[in-house]
Chain A
Amino acid sequence: MSILSIRNLKVDYATQDGTVQAVDGVSLDVAEGQHLGLIGESGCGKTTLLKAIVQVLPRNGRIVGGEIIFKGADLLKMSRAEMRQLRWREIATIPQASMDSLNPVQRVGKQLTKLLRVRGGYDKRSAKRRAVDLFDLVGLDSERLSHYPHEFSGGMKQRAVIAMALALEPSLLIADEPVTALDVIVQHQILEVLRRLEEELNLTVMLITHDISVVAQVCDSVAVMYAGRIVEQAAAEPFFASPAHPYSLGLQQAFPNLARPRDELVSIEGYPPDLREPPTGCRFAERCPFVQDACHSDDPQLQQVGVGRYAACLRSGEMDALRQQAEDPALWQRVEVAQNSPPTLNPSPKMREGLFLPPVEEPASHAPLASSCRKELGDEGEKPLLELRDVSKRFKVGGGLAGLLRGDKEQTVYAVNNISFRLRRGESLGLAGESGCGKSTTGKLLVKLLDASDGEIDFDGQDLMTMDGENLLGFRRRAQLMFQNPFEALNPRFTLYRSLTEPLIIHGWTDDDERLERVVETLDRVNLRPAEVFLDKYPHQLSGGQLQRVVLARALVLQPDFLVADEPVSMLDVSVRAGILNTTRRLASELGLATVYISHDLSLLQYTCDRIAIMYLGEIVEIGPSQQIISNPQHPYTQALIAAVPVPDPTIENPPLRIREGVPRPTEQFIGCPFSQRCPEAMQACLDIRPPQVRDEDGRITLCHLYGEHSASPKLTSDTPIQVG
């Protein structure tokens, strides 16, 4: 029996440029006890659907049709007061970025008991008891009730928010991206909490996310949304085993998967249609590799395609064959074109045609990543391009006049601590770790945006510290950086042409024609074609994926030898991530570029890197070839990180984690191992003696006592379950 049933729901947003049909005829049933995952890329109407259910649409949003039946009553016919009674008590929501929704000037326990007393009718004492129970339920120490939100870590806040959502025992919980901004370990633990709650409380959950691996881990059924419609609905296992809609196929293959590494990821090129004037045919037709003529004219309806499976595709009958073809990333490959905004060069009809070119083949098989980069550290024959020896970076915080007045002592933050590694030409290295582990600082040190406090960084035999004048300019030509947020990485006041020529001008290219040629060539390389269309656009006219390609182009325009990519795709939609990664990886191997990828996402690093270095509190705790690190991690921290990555496959369940969440602030230098506080394997020696660098036959170096001479030291921790806080 379904607890929530949505029938043909339509939601419009009135905007200055017309009416956007954000949700267009969605029908959906959620059964009691069901855990439904709603997935899709941003802007496809997921959040609007949620807001429509609890009727908290923004002012310009309007429900124009359909019904929402909750437990037999139509929510749309309810008065405001009735609806108010329903929210939280019957339908609880965890909105996006809800961690920030805690009141910063009130103790968390107070906020919880207030809710219980005002909305739940508890008296003072029972509210307190209930609050303790709730904290217990989400794995928080009840002492934490008397703390303020700023004393909580991100994961703890999220737990507290979940506790609040569950406080009044709702029958339906709707969570909007509950783990999106969290570190992988915290994410894992929150998902575990959700999973446990589903079982213990028999909750009905609707989980909205763009991350299909999250859905695989906590949901038993899946609905895929695209351009305001549900395009597929199925139980989780068959869905992940054999998706029945091309869009789901693409999404699934766009995700790097630690368990099943792929040579090339699929990228769904293009953008969702403009919902002010939705296309008459299938909405996915523009981006679909299996598109036929009929798709542009006939609008497919959601039809049953199997037991409990629905899909909206004209070719759903041939899905088995299509699924086979979809394995080939080249099929999905298209050229990035400037769609939404017409080119400003007064395009001739011919050029307009040029906008919709047939797919240009991107060489999909780049398999032989220059053989040199597969060589390992042990091989000392070749001179490294980059060598770090005992590099440290310290920051001073809290000092100065203001600190003196507040009584704050000056503290030293050890952001990077004695790291050493080498990078060969053409090799790619991944830096991974939780936020606050010093990976971004390392990236800045590598391109001399910051200077190291100690140690040496040699770039092609020259010390970065002493570099100046001509040498420095030479280094600036050869080392480039790619940024996390493409929306900030380009000067909003420059046309793309200007942005891309700037580096050339700085490096003394005086000839206009040569510059233009190089810029066009580079844009072409990063698959922005026809390049000319992009030249006089401003950054705000492009989509995130296109922008990130421009950022890559700017990094490559000087034809550098070395590229640092700091979280290159974390701000982008899943569907375009793979495209950027593929292009970056292909170009790096074509141009013989040494690359350092910085990311918290190990599956991404496994996909792009020859070697991976795991950082913790400013130290590299393990470094070695990607495959070995992923398949056989040695350091307990690496093991935890890998175990925490959700796998987009419901048949593989993540093992429970044995480490605490939250990275301590690196304000002290440890005598022993920095990880000893959180390590499940911690031994006496870990507290007192610096861990040794243990090197194995693969060339992997692990910084851990488990593999050194003190491996027999007595163990510290007992195996009590971990409680946070």
Chain B
Amino acid sequence: MKYKSQAVAKPYFIAAIGLFLGQIVFGLIMGLQYVVGDFLFPAIPFNVARMVHTNLLIVWLLFGFMGAAYYLIPEESERELHSPKLALAMFWIFLVAGAATILGYLLVPYASLAKWTGNDLLATMGREFLEQPLPTKIGIVVVALAMLYNLSMTVLRGRKTTINLVMLIGLWGLAIFFLFSFYNPGNLVKDKYYWWWVVHLWVEGVWELIMGAMLAFVLIKVTGVDREVIEKWLYVIIAMALISGLIGTGHHYYWIGAPEYWQWWGSVFSALEPIPFFMMTVFAFNMVNRRRREHPNKAAVLWALGTGVMAFLGAGVWGFLHTLAPVNFYTHGSQITAAHGHMAFYGAYAMVVMTMISYTMPLMRGRAANSRISQVVEMWSFWLMTVAMVFITLFLTAAGILQIWLQRIAAEPMSFMAAQEQVSLFYWMREVSGLIFLVGLVLYIASFFIKGKSEAATA
């Protein structure tokens, strides 16, 4: 760690990991509710568990991105962070707002929560992933703006590199597109159309810039490959991400009332969306193969390679699987979507945050890398979580194919619930995979507490 202020990333990462654990616990509750329908009802109905599961995901990834930004931007800019105090204040505001929101979901009926938090003044709640009460949404904007001010001042007064510029553009994009969450017209088609300007333009747009910058930063550090080479790759990857992803938004516009030309625009451009993810895989492996040093942090290298592969599989391959309009006509809104969502979020965003944490946490704790034994445990957790996620995805895909056949294609289509009962075996297997994922996550957390003899002292 070159600059003292980079240490502000540490609480962000700790919070991220804590919330990640919460996300997985609620994921397991939902997984069980899929097969034991009345589990925890009415204390935690499925919709509440799902809000907690998805909102915790979003919040912990945001914590991860912010922590990553506070770490890498000072280092790239070669100066201290503009205001570490502001960064720390924003951490507490975001943590308290996040925790209060989750408690609100769990303890208060959603309709009452909406009433008490001003949803009648400006209705923004009750839309998938954007369920947060108005004060939370405003809080997200405040935290994001304070962070952007802090980071932009740091970059403006320091060295401008491709990595810190791309990170900054990604974060600005994140904040700007989030503003569409405040636009909720009564017209359902318009509502859905612009809802995707938050959701799609985040995960298939600006978040890819953030991911690319984080991956490039870690790869420079752990491989020692020339910055020029890595930055060129970064530009090409994010160029492809936006060239394919912006019009690729159209793959969400097939069946929501938008004009039918979106079936062409969406199919063609979203079919290109795997390209940037494939390039990330090639990029990561290529750089590691051309490494000019053996970095003592083997676990961080493993995460960097892993995120390249899993992002391509989850976002790229599983996305392509159902993105073409004639296929999507049958797969839309089925377990296929759930399968894709799980592996894409884990492979691209969860793993890139863990790559960053894996690389930076030892440095923030005063060593180049963790002890051998600690790294071995961390790598075990990598494999357990990653393999478990592959199986979760495969089981959900199998459930999805069967569901689509029974409910949408068979000569005598079954009702939704009848088809769900037929596929319950796959839901049980998904739940078992989920338990293995939890074991992996617990090991991951345990790896931070394992001491052992530290590796070489220089990074």
Co-assembled chains A and B: no
B-binding residues in A (CB < 8 A)? none
